[in-house]
Amino acid sequence: MSEGRSDIRKTGEATRRRTLGDAHVNRSRQDPEGFNAPFVDLITDAAWGHVWGRDTIAPRERSMITLALLAGLGNWEEFELHLRATANTGASRTDIQEVLLHVAIYAGVPRANTAFKLADRILTEMEED
């Protein structure tokens, strides 16, 4: 791996761990030679190194943008993952409500309806833990 790619990988790995937590990242890296390994490397470099690793906007705002996009596209598994990550990014329950109101207007009420149900359940679980 070249020097530049190595730096991006380090940034991506650190950002991913800070955002999603060590337990999640460790699970995804259990089999470093496994079928998913190239995909994990890709998202670590591209999503976490190149995008989330930038310091132009705060993790809270990146988290809110990501939640809006995932809900608007109906990517519920990733939505849940990133919703749980708000404990690390600083996006509040109120922030998430505002995001989902935007989803309702710009991506559709059915998507927002599902997102509100998931968010309420998951945020309540997180508060109880």
Please tell me the distance from the alpha carbon of residue 129 to that of residue 118, in angstroms, as a whole number. 17
Let me know: does 124 contact 85? Beta carbons within 8 Å.
Answer: no
Complete domains list, the chain, with CATH: 1-56 (no CATH), 58-129 (1.20.1290.10)
**pLDDT of amino acid 3:** 57
Question: Could you report the per-residue pLDDT of 28-49, keeping only the tens digit for each?
Answer: 989 889 999 999 999 999 999 9
Please tell me the distance from the alpha carbon of residue 45 to that of residue 3, in angstroms, as a whole number. 13
Residue pointed to by tokens 């705002």: 61
**124-128 — which CB contacts under 8 Å span 24+ positions?**
126/84, 126/87
- Full-prediction pTM beyond 0.85? yes
Please tell me the distance from the alpha carbon of residue 125 to that of residue 32, in angstroms, as a whole number. 31
